[in-house]
Amino acid sequence: MARAFAPGKCILFGEHAVVYGYPAVAVAIDAGVEVSISESSKWTIEGTEFEPGRHPHITHIIRDVFDYNGRPLDIDIKSGLFSAAGLGSSAAISNAMGAALQFHLNPNAGLDRIALARMGHSAEAIAQDGRASPTDTATSALGGCVVVSGELVDGTEHVFDATLETPEGERSWSISKTTIPEDLDAWIVLGFTGVGSPTGKMVADVANLLEVEPSKTSDMEAIGNITNAGLAALSAGNLEAVGIAMNACHERLKSLQVSSPELEHLIAAAGPHSLGAKMTGAGGGGCMVALTRDPRRVAEAIEIAGGKPLISRLGAEGARIIRKT
């Protein structure tokens, strides 16, 4: 049997603005997806027949990336992520599947995380009609704190570049990492509203808003500046400044009309016990994130307000093979 784990992600700064070339900062979270594969007499997934059309990410990895023509596989997926919540669960599935299949075919080769990030990105692009930023897959594959931008951001360590042929033409991104101090006395608490986050619709709504209200581009520019300030604060371990930047980023996202009453409710509940709090990901539903020194209290506040909390360190380890113990 081959087993691999890939973490989910949380965008700390720059969602939506990254679509327009500004930087985004994301961290890998502790929760993620574990995929196990073993040879079998027939193709199955989670105990039922594997229907390729229902699992485009996995099918792409098996057929197009690995050109696999070995014995049928029994695929098992265990997810610790809320799905359609902006935590990158489909990217984590792609990455864990890619890592498990690579190990199954070549157990002696080390895991190439850049190749995995590229593989996951192409799987996301296929599943999302050619529109996928590499943020989720790169953060899940590489782990830690990842910066995705139209151009390399000063002070970060360049890892790889990604390009994608989208329906709107070719897009390219620079993917880099930044180091977060190891002894940070803070956690992030994610709060799921229970409402799905429709990324495609939210991105399209923002594009429409910018067309009818061009003055809103100032929010994009402001998010770009806040992201750079937040990134500098995070690298320096200045948690108070990170929290202030998160709050400021949220105000701009609200102005872009991507928050929701449910998100506002959870952010208000977490606020008194947090250094900063904001929506994370596409919005319209999905999750908020709070930075705090008291994660239990914030998790309780989120739960009492009707959300589902998830506590994580900032910048967990990236995708990995799970070896037999």
Element (H, E) at 163: strand 157-166
Mark the segment that binds ligand PMV (CB under 6 A) among 39-47, 156-164, 196-204, 227-235: 196-204
284 counts as binding ligand PMV under rule CB under 6 A = no
Q: What is the DSSP string of 97-133?
A: HHHHHHHHH-TTSPP-HHHHHHHHHHHHHHHTTT---
- Residue 86, interface with ligand PMV (CB under 6 A)? yes
- Structure token pair of residue 120: 């996951």
Q: Least separation, in Å, of the C-beta of 313 and ligand PMV?
A: 19
**Sign (positive or negative) of CA dihedral 173, 175, 178, 180:** positive
The answer to the question of residue 19 lying near ligand PMV (CB under 6 A) is yes
Strands 73-79 and 157-166: unpaired
Interface size with ligand PMV, residues (CB under 6 A)? 15
Q: To the nearest whole angstrom, how small is the minimum distance from the Cβ of residue 203 to ligand PMV?
A: 5
Q: Which of 8, 23, 98, 286: binder of ligand PMV (CB under 6 A)?
A: 286
Residue 191 in the binding site for ligand PMV (CB under 6 A): no
Q: Give the CA count within 13 Å in the CB-facing half-sphere of 59.
A: 10
Amino acid at 56: P
Smallest gap from Cβ 294 to ligand PMV, in A, equals 26
> Strand, helix or coil at 228?
helix
Cα→Cα distances 214→165, 210, 282, Å? 27, 5, 20
Query: Does 282 engage in binding with ligand PMV (CB under 6 A)?
Result: yes
Q: Would you give the binding string for ligand PMV spanning residues 201-240, x where CB under 6 A is met?
A: --x-------------------------------------
CB of 220 to ligand PMV, least distance (A): 11
- Min separation Cβ 166 and ligand PMV, Å: 10
Amino acid at 304: I
| Side-chain-side CA neighbours of residue 184 (13 Å) | 25
- Asked if 18 interacts with ligand PMV (CB under 6 A), we say yes
Report in angstroms how near the CB of residue 212 gets to ligand PMV at its nearest.
19
> Which spans of this chain sit near ligand PMV (rule: CB under 6 A)?
11, 15-16, 18-19, 86, 133, 135-136, 197, 199, 203, 281-282, 286
